A = this chain, B = another copy of it.
Amino acid sequence: MKHNLKYFLPLVIVFFSACNNNKENEVPRQQNTLIFPQGNKNTTDNFKGEVWVAPLIEADSLNQTAVGNVTFDPGARSKWHTHPAGQILLVTDGVGYYQEKGQPKKILRKGDVIKCPPNIPHWHGASADTAFVQIAITGREKGPTVWLEAVTDEEYHSGDKD
């Protein structure tokens, strides 16, 4: 039995190498879903934690709908705010939260969509452990976003299971 090792060992190495090479050629799941650019890091105090914003479409006089790609690092979130013409969110990756004032916090995942009515205070952000990527579609025809108070840790974690 002992002398067979000299035959086994190269075989084991060859097949482990083959498996590892396949893994190197895989496209990582996360990288694969990043369709639009991450953009620049937010420098305003309208968000807590690291948030990245890439404007995709600017509002103009003929079409006042703006579109942006927003990436929240785990734990990052917006302040409470309202949009005078409302907002639509399309979730393209990760796990995040959305809450309207007086309503329970919703958990959002890739493929979920949200329509936030005009002038309703709300916030959105990533879950505590997972980043979150959303396309934000915002009408600018009735004025800019109105920023309100910060989301407290109690609000952020509301409804979380122990």
Hey, which bits of chain A sit against chain B, CB under 8 A? Answer: 4, 7-8, 11-12, 15-16, 18-19, 22-23, 26-27, 29, 32-33, 35-37, 56-57, 60, 62-63, 65, 67, 85-86, 88, 90, 92-93, 110-111, 113, 115, 117-118, 135, 137, 139
- Residues A36 and B139 in contact in the complex (CB < 8 Å), given A85-B63, A115-B57: no
B135 touches A90 (CB 8 A): yes
Give Cα A67 to B65, complex, Å.
12
- Asked if B86 and A63 sit within 8 Å, CB to CB, the answer is yes
Residues in B with CB closer than 8 Å to A117 are: 62-63
Report the minimal beta-carbon distance from A87 to chain B, rounded to whole angstroms: 8
Question: Which residue of B is nearest A66, CB measured?
Answer: B88
Q: How far is the CA of A16 from the CA of B12 in the complex (A)?
A: 11
- Among A65, A92, A111, chain B packs the most CB atoms within 10 A around the CB of A65
